[in-house]
Amino acid sequence: MLGLLLLALGAAPAPDTPPRALACLAKWYPVEPVQVDGAWYVKLAGTTYPWDDGRTKSFEEKLESPDLEDTFSIPYVPGPIRPVTRENEDPGRIRFDPLFHAAYGATEARVDVVDIDFLGQRLKVNRKVAPAFERVAKRLDAEVKKTPSLRPYLKNLGGTFMWRKIAHTNRQSAHSYGVSIDVNVKRSHYWEWAKPKAPVRWANQIPQLIVDAFEAEGFIWGGRWYHYDTMHFEYRPELLDSSCR
């Protein structure tokens, strides 16, 4: 078996404890780490997937065909906003669809959404993530009262639950699961809209206080991406949990 082969080749089998990020993932998602012949796998909704498929991949290959380990391959760094100039530094854009399917629903009909009040706007979000959205709204409401200039960025919110593919791809959007939100498009920047589109030049006007409020409750921000999408916030607590790194 694989474990005996590794020993024969002089390689040590995987330790009895799962990789740090895999163990941490179980805090946030319905995953079960499983060891088979010295290699780590993850069980999701009754199906087992390799934690690391052993393939060396380009960035584009990770986007199109990731394993779970790939989703942690680019660290997400919160804190002060800074321009993103390193090519393909897109922490969080790599998503493992079976994880989202197991956690939130594999089809549009299976995604359990509820209506919430978010700063006076009714939004449909995933029932499991609704409390996190509500905590963000509470933080933002307090910040807007202190800094009214934030309010225009938080009008005309959208992009919560919408079952669809990411533009120009065959990959499912995080909006499909009701775990992401778009702030005011008119005050946002998106790399696909830039003219000229190449080379990519990062741009942003979303204030730090808004970013901080979302990140404090487990949401990553598309403004931390080289392929920037500054309107976009997405619930990915594992990428902000220091114990997962």
pLDDT tens per residue across span 195-225: 998 999 999 999 999 999 999 999 999 999 9
Q: How many CB atoms lie within 10 A of CB 161?
A: 19
Does the CA dihedral 175-217-190-72 come out positive or negative?
negative
Residue 5 has pLDDT above 50, yes or no: no
Residues in CB range of 15: below 8 A, 6 or more apart: none
153-179 pLDDT, tens digit each: 999 998 899 999 988 888 999 999 999
Q: Which helix (H) or strand (E) holds 148?
A: none
| Closest to 200 in 3D by CA, of 210, 209, 189, 208 | 189
What backbone torsions phi and psi does residue 118 show, to the nearest 5 degrees? -125, 100
Scan for tokens 């499909």, then name that residue: 176
Give the tokens for residue 58: 């380009």
pLDDT of residue 170: 87
94-103 pLDDT, tens digit each: 999 999 999 9
pTM over 0.75: yes
**Residue 66 identity (one-letter amino acid):** P
68 and 14 in contact (C-beta within 8 Å)?
A: no
Distances (CA, A) of 166 to 29, 126, 128, 159: 23, 18, 22, 12
Q: What is the largest CA-CA distance in the chain?
A: 67
| Closest to 22 in 3D by CA, of 31, 13, 14 | 31
